A and B are shown apart, each in its own frame.
Chain A
Amino acid sequence: GAVVSQHPSRVICKSGTSVKIECRSLDFQATTMFWYRQFPKKSLMLMATSNEGSKATYEQGVEKDKFLINHASLTLSTLTVTSAHPEDSSFYICSAPRLAGITNEQFFGPGTRLTVL
């Protein structure tokens, strides 16, 4: 089956630094990828839709300047948490849909645990 990878799987950083998280579709191309954030014991909240060749679409309440998204190629999207603060600590998950007929199957990355000290 299709595989989506994320790197790094875990990152600890100091407050004020920026952190980049990569999401790659390994055996299929994805013109669209999705970034989610999950708080402890909570559901996944869609943050933004990453679009190859155009700007990302952010969900309401998500700061565009805080969470920079770049869909660099058909297999890579990056999420950069700029000037990270402790409240940005969370589990970030990306997903990529692979069109299968008239439906899309979503494949999720394993997630990145961000801890901001």
Chain B
Amino acid sequence: SQQGEEDPQALSIQEGENATMNCSYKTSINNLQWYRQNSGRGLVHLILIRSNEREKHSGRLRVTLDTSKKSSSLLITASRAADTASYFCATAASGGSYIPTFGRGTSLIVHP
């Protein structure tokens, strides 16, 4: 069964605006990863946040993790048209199972 669930399912914004996507999960995790997928292409790893971390930054990306709420958010600041893609979160459950499970993704469209 799917572990992570992203919302919103679709997000449409103007270039320059910030985009926030959320991911909720159900069980305890070792880490959570965010990926980007351009249409018809493979996954691009964006950022990994471990269960003992609360926030991480990478360029225009900011990821937060709230293990008490079992949720994570991905913020893309000053969005660009090139950020148009689907974004997935994947969780690796704790307890020895490292199989990442994916949510359905958020489809982001950034209008120039």
Using a CB–CB cutoff of 8 Å, the interface residues on chain A facing chain B are 1, 6, 32, 34, 36, 41-44, 46, 49, 91, 93, 95, 97, 102-111, 113
Contact = CB atoms under 8 A, between A and B. Distances in A.
Interface of B: 2, 30-31, 33, 35, 40-43, 45, 48, 50-51, 86, 88, 90, 92, 98-105, 107
Contacts, number: 58
A106 B30 contact: no
A93 B88 CA distance: 14
A106 B33 contact: yes
Contacts of B30: 102-104
A42 B104 contact: yes
B100 A107 contact: no
Contacts of A1: 45
A99 B63 CA distance: 22
